[in-house]
Every structure is written in C-alpha cells, then in structure tokens.
Amino acid sequence: MIKSKTLIEQVNEFYINKTTKIYAINEYYENLLNKNNNYINLLNEIGSLKFEIAKLEYEGKSEDNGLNTKLENLELEKYNIIKNSGYFDAVNSVIECKICKDKGVVNSKRCKCYNKRLTDVSLKYLGVTKRQNCSFIDANAKEIEKQKLLLSKYANNFPKVNIQNFVLVGNVGTGKTFLSRCVYSEILQKGYNAIFLTATELNNVFLKMHLGEVDRTVITDILLGCDFLVIDDLGTEPKYNNVTVEFLLSLISDRLDKNKPFIITTNLSLSEIKDRYNERLVSRLSGEKTAILPFKNKDLRIK
C-alpha cells in the first residue's frame, strides 16, 4: 500500500540531505574566515561598537557621534570579505528554493517547494507521467487564437482570475490539450503546485484508492491540495462501477468548494457528460465559477 507517511519521509530525507550539505559549507567557510586576521579584527570591532551603541541607548543619549554610520560601514566591509571568500556562491550553488533556503518550511508551514516535491514523488508512485512544458508562443493556429488569448490571460493573471475553472469542449485534435498544457506550464513556472494528468491516469488513481492500494490522504494532499489541476481527455477513461463517477464528482466538488482552480478537456458535449456520468457533475461544471470554452475548429493535425 502506498502510504502518505512513506512519501513524506522520502521528501523529508531530501531536505535533511540539503541541510547537511549547507551545514558542511557553513562549517568550511567559517573555519576559512577564522584564519583571516582582518576578518577576526573586524568582528571584534563590530562587537565593541554594538556595545557602545547599546550603552548610549540605555543611558538615553540621542547623540551617537556617528557610531551607527561607522557600524554600517564595518558591516559592509564584513559582507565583502565573506562575499570574496566564495561563501555566497557556494551556498547558492546548492540551494534550490530561495524562499525557504531548502529547509522545506516557512513560518512553521510547508514551503511551496515542499508541496511540489511531495506532489512529484506521489505522482511517480501513482504512475502518472510527468509532462514537458509547452508554450503559448508555439500555439500559432489562427483557428484557436481566441481561446489562446483567453487562456494565456488566465495563466498570466493566476491566481487572481475572475473565472477560476474552464471546461474545454471540442473534437479530437482541436488544440484543447496543447493549450491546457500551456496554462499548466506557465502556472508551474510561476512557482505554484500544478498537476496535469489524463482522465485515464486519474481513474487509475481512483481505482487504487478504492482497492486500498493507496492511502486516501495521498489523494487529499495531492489532488485536492495542489494549486491547479488539469484533467485531460475526460470521457476516454474506462468506467468502473462505484469508482469513476463517485470519486470524480467528489474531487470536482471539493475543489470547487475550496476555490481550487482546474481545467478539464473533453471530446464530450455537456449532454454526453450527463449521460456518461450524471446530472450532478454537469450541474457542478455549469456553475458561475466555471466557463465552458468550445473548440469548434477542425482537426489541426490534419494538413
């Protein structure tokens, strides 16, 4: 069984290794700088100056005789010595996340990088293929220019968007998947935790959860917890009794209730979605938070 605890432990191990590397760098350069007499003398002078300033503040004297300015200059001198030692370059070559400095936590909460890493690890275990990035620049077909402009604006403004969700409806090869991947790629590059998976991959995850092969908290943390979700080719997946419709409706409903944006692409019309799934799903996809975006052009792959 795929357990949430196991996946979290694997991610935590990554951050432990990162912390160990950074600690080793700090220790190396601390030893190096401690052999620099100019640096040691500078530290002593800064310490003495801070004591003098604190003493004046304690005695209530407003005049510092330029001590604060002198302290600023000494701190700058200290910074330059550390910089010239190569310390900052060494640390920056190791650190991947500028927000948490590869600690995985910010203000006692998981950093964005932690959630993204947990998502990647979980999806790999769940058998979901990692998608390569796509760019709106490559969407040159005039037939989908209006859809491109609308979705490009959506991705650019994310998460501050008027319409949170889209259902891209149209025949095979009309550009739905490509544009949804462009949105996914841009949101991902902005630092948000985004997931792109096919309806078949999603259905397989539902089945694993139904059969007890995966911890339910994995689904909650990943599919419901991510900032943005794409479900591609809805309607092409096999339909399992007591699995497909129930879990899909639950996921969509929960994301809508929690204001978690998503895009669904499908070759089905709304009436066909109703026939294949149920009226409740169509009702949820027809709410004010979601827009139906039609693709009525011909197959772009045919030349």
Q: What is the DSSP letter of 198?
A: E
Give, in degrees to the nearest 5, the angle at Cα 301 between 296 and 303.
105
Looking at domain 126-295, its CATH class is alpha beta
Q: Which of 206, 179, 190 is nearest to 277 (CA)?
A: 206
For residue 218, pLDDT beyond 80: no
Could you give the CA distance from residue 62 to residue 225 in angstroms, rounded to a whole number?
53
Note the pLDDT of residue 179: 95
Average pLDDT, rounded, for the chain: 91
- Whether pTM exceeds 0.85: no
Residue 294 identity = P
Query: What average pLDDT does this structure show over 184-208?
Result: 94
Q: Read off the pLDDT band of 133 (50, 70, 90).
A: confident
Q: Read off the pLDDT band of 215 (50, 70, 90).
A: confident
Q: 301 with 171: CB under 8 angstroms?
A: no
Residue 124 identity = K
Note the pLDDT of residue 227: 94
Note the pLDDT of residue 220: 75
Helices and strands, number each (H, E), in the chain:
12, 7
CA atoms within 13 A on the CB side of 281: 23
Lowest mean pLDDT among 28-37, 211-220, 276-285: 211-220
Domain ranges of the chain: 4-109, 126-295
Any idea which residue has 């060494």 for tokens? 90
